Amino acid sequence: MGVKALSSVCLIYGAGGFGREVAWLLRDYHLAFGRLEPLCFVDDDSQLHGTRLSGLPVIDLATATRLYHGAPMVLAIGAPQTRANVLPRVSNLGFEFPAIVHPSVKRSEYVSIGQGVLICASSILTTEVSVGVHTHINLGCTIGHDVTIGQYCTVSPGVHLSGWVHVGNRVFIGTGAVFINGTQAEPLTIGDGVTIGAGACVTRSVSPGETVVGVPARPIQRKD
């Protein structure tokens, strides 16, 4: 496969549940824009090598590097820290990391999206929004005005961030969590490495490393 042909396909690193959802995202993206058709899964689990999932073959990283060096790749890994750990290994092998936004996503022209970002179907991003590199915004999320989301974050399905919320790096936000508005003078701030439980209602800033759950959200543990 030549360089020009390689630029029109995309490899998916991670063959788990989210990886298979990303395959669907890429198929819709390809139908809408005529590029980045999903080619294969790349996974470290040797038991999956040689199988097919969601119609795509599963191969190991060495094979992917030999056959498709320089091709676009997306990191379909749900855990923020794992995604951050994997990136240096694969980026040093020459792969590229495009941002992929499902064609059903609504966003203004005042939205900044970093390398490797994935934004899934039916999400809405309003205005003055910034999304850091290799962050995932899953199905049906709403991101309000003046929200910043850092690097390697996971925003699970059905999350709603109101205006003036600042999210740090490697933050995991569980399904259905909601965040009240901050203000320009005092934005609601979520520190690095925070975990927000599913269904939580975040009404105040969260310190780095904390895990918060409940309505309103309260800390249950702190990472070192």
Question: Which CATH class for the 100-213 domain?
Answer: mainly beta
- What is the structure's pLDDT at 7? 81
- What is the structure's pLDDT at 3? 47
So where are the chain's domains?
Answer: 3-91, 100-213
Question: Which CATH class for the 3-91 domain?
Answer: alpha beta
Residue 212 CA to residue 125 CA, distance in Å, equals 24
Task: State how far the alpha carbon of 202 is from the alpha carbons of 128, 145, 172, in Å.
Answer: 21, 17, 13
172, 213 Cβ separation under 8 angstroms: no
Residues in a beta bridge with 220: none
Name the 3-class secondary structure at 28.
Answer: helix
What is 174-194 written as a DSSP string?
-TT-EE----SSS-EEE-TT-
The residues, ordered by sequence, that sit 6+ positions from 63 with a Cβ below 8 Å of its Cβ are: none
The residues, ordered by sequence, that sit 6+ positions from 113 with a Cβ below 8 Å of its Cβ are: 99, 101, 119, 131
- Which stretches in the chain have pLDDT values below 50? 2-3
- What is the structure's pLDDT at 224? 53
Do the domains spanning 3-91 and 100-213 agree at the CATH topology level?
Answer: no
pTM value > 0.75: yes
